[in-house]
Structure 1
Amino acid sequence: MTVFAGVDLLIGIDDTDDQFSPGTGRRARALLRELAVAGLGSEAGATRHQLLVDDRIPYTSHNSSACLAWRSPGGDPYAVRGEIIEYVARFLERVCPPAADPGLAVAVPADVSDVPALVDFGRRAKREVLQRAQARRLAAELDVHLSGHGGTHDGVLGALAAVGLQLSGDDGLFITLPGLGNLPYEATVDDLLATVPIDDVRDAGNGRPAPGELIELGDWVRPVLLNGRAVLLLDPPREDPNGRRRWRTAPRAVVKKH
């Protein structure tokens, strides 16, 4: 079982902020909480995806978008799809500042008619300047909901790209997972895996902590999405004075490459 087991709805959002307001990551976490409180299902997590940084593209700070992975009540996405679209639209219109250009994409992964085309769109958004019309045309072809909720609606590009990139299984980092915000400064690998639905914990050489070995987690824990799994990247271990291996999470510069 992976972190995405049971996920049947993907919600992409982008361009939700200005230079004075909370970023898309914070909006995504708040939205997941609100959807759960509204009784519309439960979260599997949300991923951040880095898109092209180019002077021809208007963006606030980093040009990243987010995709929320969602489990519908009873495993029936169509029972709540319409309500979720309406709820998220109202959320974006309520919280986004006037200078934002928020966009929303909602997909039922099992019914996307051409997943490779959607993945390709996401990857192109990382290296090309795309147009809103391209996003709208593709979403219509694939039966993916796509809508703008303020300003120029430019956020539809990043919202659709985020869904495609999460579907690729090999892009982005997790800005939230259940339990991720409640981790201690350090924990054994056993306690970590019992607290957060992480699929793998390893360093770049595929070295893994043994049961009982401590990991220094610090205050910024962001698993990455690799091969459809949530993977917490670590630095290679070091030995303490007693000869015991100690681990710590990989630095931000390494994590943000994904």
Structure 2
Amino acid sequence: MKIYVGIDDTDNIDQGATGASANQVIKIVEENHWGSCQGLTRHQLLLHPDIAYTSHNSSMCFIAEIEAACLEPLIEEAGQFLEQHSAPGSDPGLCVVVEEQLRDTESLIAYGYETKIRIMTKEEAYALAGKLGVHLSEHGGTGLGVIGALAGVGLRMTNNDGRFQGKLQLKAPGAIINVAEIISSSPVERVQSVDGYVLREDEEVRLGNKLKTVLLDGKRILPVYRREDGLAWETCTNSHLEHY
């Protein structure tokens, strides 16, 4: 069965990273042969002075295909890992959603989008999780990470939100490469401009310093932009990526 695993708030300003914690949970799943995991995505939530976040207030989510009998062991071990290895002062939260058992996908997606524009409460998160029949648990500190953990799953389920963790390894910055080679030598499924134009396989892209992919239309997309001189496509900068 297909599950979504959301994790948030496992770090502090000096130690840890939620992406690293999520990767460790992926490792637990795969080393126990419970199933196979798909790309880990980072989802941006509201930035507000009244929200206690470490750096960017983002949560992480990945998808896994597992056998039903592995669900409870996965939840138990993931929770234990967060309790034992999250940074001091962090407020870890864990959300696990079984797609076929989710009672109202649209409500979960709406919750995810709402966390981008409004300060949410832990009570709201638990109320929705109970209504939808999904697992939501806190594993240290105030447990406020449950808000982002639930939101991360909702946003991942849109198929149109989030950046995939990690950077592509293609060629050196400044190199020119065509779209066909990008797709054949990486997990990228499509190269697309920031205004929606899908590049043909024979078109060329100049590689920048940071090759990041995003989730759009359920696909792993390498976003690009047209240089000011209008002569070439180039992979996006940090300022472009803030929109994903």
Q: With structure 2 as the length reference, what TM-score do the two structures score? A: 0.88
Quick check: 1:235–1:249 contact (8 Å CA) kept in 2? Answer: yes
> What does the per-residue CA deviation read over 1:8-47, in whole Å, with 9 as the maximum and x for residues that have no partner?
1110000110001132123223332342223222221011
Output the CA distance in 2 between the equivalents of 1:90 and 1:219.
Answer: 37
Q: Describe the shift of the 1:38–1:184 C-alpha distance in structure 2 as closer, same or farther (beyond 3 A).
A: farther
What is the match of residue 249 of structure 1?
235
What is the match of residue 3 of structure 1?
none
What is the match of residue 121 of structure 2?
131
Structure 1 residue corresponding to 2:46, chosen from 41, 52, 65: 52
- Structure 1 residue 196 and structure 2 residue 190: aligned? no
Any unmatched runs of 5+ in structure 2?
none
How far apart are residue 132 of structure 1 and its match? 0.8
Output the CA distance in 1 between the equivalents of 2:214 and 2:221.
Answer: 5
Output the CA distance in 2 between the equivalents of 1:40 and 1:182.
Answer: 29
Structure 1 residue corresponding to 2:6, chosen from 1, 6, 12: 12
What is the match of residue 184 of structure 1?
171
Output the CA distance in 2 between the equivalents of 1:217 and 1:25.
Answer: 25
What is the match of residue 121 of structure 1?
111
Q: Describe the shift of the 1:24–1:219 C-alpha distance in structure 2 as closer, same or farther (beyond 3 A).
A: farther
Output the CA distance in 1 between the equivalents of 2:227 and 2:194.
Answer: 11
- Structure 1 residue 33 and structure 2 residue 33: aligned? no
AA at the equivalent of 1:63:
N
Structure 2 residue corresponding to 1:98, chosen from 77, 84, 88: 88
1:168 match: secondary structure: coil
- Structure 1 residue 148 and structure 2 residue 157: aligned? no
Task: Report how many residues are paired.
Answer: 241
Q: With structure 1 as the length reference, what TM-score do the two structures score? A: 0.84
Output the CA distance in 1 between the equivalents of 2:106 and 2:222.
Answer: 26
1:11 match: secondary structure: strand
Output the CA distance in 1 between the equivalents of 2:207 and 2:60.
Answer: 23
AA at the equivalent of 2:238:
R
Quick check: 2:168–2:186 contact (8 Å CA) kept in 1? Answer: no
